[in-house]
A and B are shown apart, each in its own frame.
Chain A
């Protein structure tokens, strides 16, 4: 994607990221993440980043890779009936621009449905994309997902909000 930080490209990127998950194009999805990325879903409200508290997701690129590889493993029994998901995104807003660093922060309220074997769970929340632009590419430095019901007793959540 050819970009230099223009708004349309940043917003399209967020839509594109969700679409790759929904279509299970995980290799392409993985490539959207920077090598030092974080895919983070905190457990508490106002939880500071870092290891001082547990989270629902706090994945570096290695953990994302493990998840993607596992989903392809025929011995992933919890995927005997494959899960499918669908993101419904509100238009992302650009919340912060640090042009000199090529860093942008986008806020995207979302609905996320995950479906498996006659059961559909619907989650909602706000996703924060910390995007880094360099050499004509956009990469995800941090995707922080604030689930509305993050403290609730939740069933298995197996894909990627």
Chain B
């Protein structure tokens, strides 16, 4: 019994300015507390509203142990409800996605709900005639998420009643979602089919930290991207570069490239790399698309949108966005050493099909459970998960380019791209959420 639950001081001691204690990755009690305190007070990503285009369409997810239902109402609004019948607690729709018709109906006793979650009918209602039913929790129908926001199609919830507003929580980091949506000539995105679902036998934070860890690609991905580079170098000089080579090669860029890329951090643990340029900056031009964007936005604005080629944006803790290649990765922690990563391909509505091809290809090459890039990343996460058991050094070092001044510089600032400042920012947010309301 480690006793973190009742000791904010013990939790606070896990996070130094430039290092974290191994327990944050390995301790099951801390995992439970993360779900209760960090994940439920955070704004977490549920899904994209294009997954529920029509009234009655639903999409189920589990966030921080909570079964949720994203549902499009007859009024066109997207709601997020607890997927739990008000009567005896059965999930009101099974896993997955579908259309529930005009009403939600429980499979057990047939209670029905309108699409806003209100209780509509109960079979043989007379059975409740003199029971003070109107005072019961059940009479209030399906519980709504405490707070919901739909930002340009991206649906987020905050599960706990208190916490930061959506705008406060994300601040200007929302620029990465703007840039992604603006890349559609119509300003609209659609989820293109099913996600790649890759089960990681490692703690969720290893994945989240890795997204803006720019010191690993040239090492961990040398065998995959490096092999692609070597094979490419044996091709005759006039050979047109295949899309897969174009996507692999930048992974083995040198340290200087990743350092000059830059990293920007925001309050609440959000960050993005690729402030100045990224591994996506040198993809071949698509003149038809560029012309289309110019026609819609004007030359200057189109250039600004397409020139903002961010690497990874972390919307701490649940969502990571790659606007320049239109993929998102969703983080679903399951246990202290088990994390599901779901990677979605997005279609830029109105853009030429080659953009979708690019996105679908990248998603497969990098994010699939069959990916030679993903295999080496996961190998490293798992190696950490097992290595941390070693006694004698209980600290994970996050000191690269640390400076005392970074805490004073305000909530939003840009640093050299290989700094570990994004991870330190994540743990500042982590410690704050995990100890909120604690007196000692």
Is B199 within 8 A of A77, CB to CB? Answer: no
The yes or no answer to A9 lying at the interface (CB within 8 A) is no
For A133, what are the chain B residues with a Cβ–Cβ distance below 8 Å? none
From A18-26, A30-38, A64-72, A93-101, the one touching the partner chain is A64-72
Is B223 within 8 A of A77, CB to CB? Answer: yes
Q: Size band of the A side of the interface?
A: 20 to 34
The distance from the CB of A145 to the nearest CB of chain B, in whole angstroms, is: 11
Is B369 within 8 A of A75, CB to CB? Answer: no
- The verdict on A157 contacting B194 (CB below 8 Å), with A70-B227, A77-B220, A78-B375 known, is no
Chain B 206-225 per-residue mask, 1 if CB under 8 angstroms from chain A, else 0:
00000000000000101110
The distance from the CB of A119 to the nearest CB of chain B, in whole angstroms, is: 9
- Count: A-B pairs, CB below 8 Å: 113
From B197, B224, B363, B383, contact of A66 by CB (8 A):
B224
For B361, what are the chain A residues with a Cβ–Cβ distance below 8 Å? 51, 54, 58
Is A44 within 8 A of B220, CB to CB? Answer: no
From B220, B227, B245, B364, contact of A73 by CB (8 A):
B227
Is B375 within 8 A of A54, CB to CB? Answer: no
Is B375 within 8 A of A66, CB to CB? Answer: no
Measured in the bound complex, the distance between the Cα atoms of B380 and A97 in whole Å is 47
Chain A 145-161 per-residue mask, 1 if CB under 8 angstroms from chain B, else 0:
00000011111111000
Is A54 within 8 A of B196, CB to CB? Answer: yes
The yes or no answer to A55 lying at the interface (CB within 8 A) is yes
Measured in the bound complex, the distance between the Cα atoms of B369 and A56 in whole Å is 7
Is B228 within 8 A of A53, CB to CB? Answer: no
- The verdict on A62 contacting B231 (CB below 8 Å), with A54-B368, A77-B380, A156-B374 known, is yes
Measured in the bound complex, the distance between the Cα atoms of B375 and A37 in whole Å is 24
From B66-74, B172-180, B352-360, the one touching the partner chain is B352-360
Q: Size band of the B side of the interface?
A: 35 or more
The distance from the CB of A80 to the nearest CB of chain B, in whole angstroms, is: 7
Q: Which residues, 44 to 92 on A, are CB-close (under 8 Å) to B?
A: 44, 47, 51-58, 60, 62-63, 65-67, 69-70, 73, 75-78, 80
The yes or no answer to B399 lying at the interface (CB within 8 A) is no
Is B192 within 8 A of A52, CB to CB? Answer: yes
Is B360 within 8 A of A156, CB to CB? Answer: no
Q: Which residues, 124 to 169 on B, are CB-close (under 8 Å) to A?
A: none
Measured in the bound complex, the distance between the Cα atoms of B227 and A69 in whole Å is 7
The yes or no answer to A105 lying at the interface (CB within 8 A) is no
Please give 10 more A-B residue pairs, beta carbons under 8 A apart, in addition to A54-B361, A158-B370. A43-B193, A54-B359, A55-B368, A60-B242, A69-B230, A73-B223, A76-B372, A76-B376, A151-B197, A154-B369
Subset of 9 A-B contacts with CB under 8 Å = A51-B360, A53-B194, A53-B360, A54-B368, A62-B244, A66-B231, A76-B224, A155-B198, A156-B375
B residues at A contact (CB < 8 Å): 192-194, 196-199, 201, 220, 222-224, 226-228, 230-231, 242, 244-245, 248, 340, 345, 353, 356-357, 359-361, 363-364, 368-370, 372, 374-376, 378-380, 383
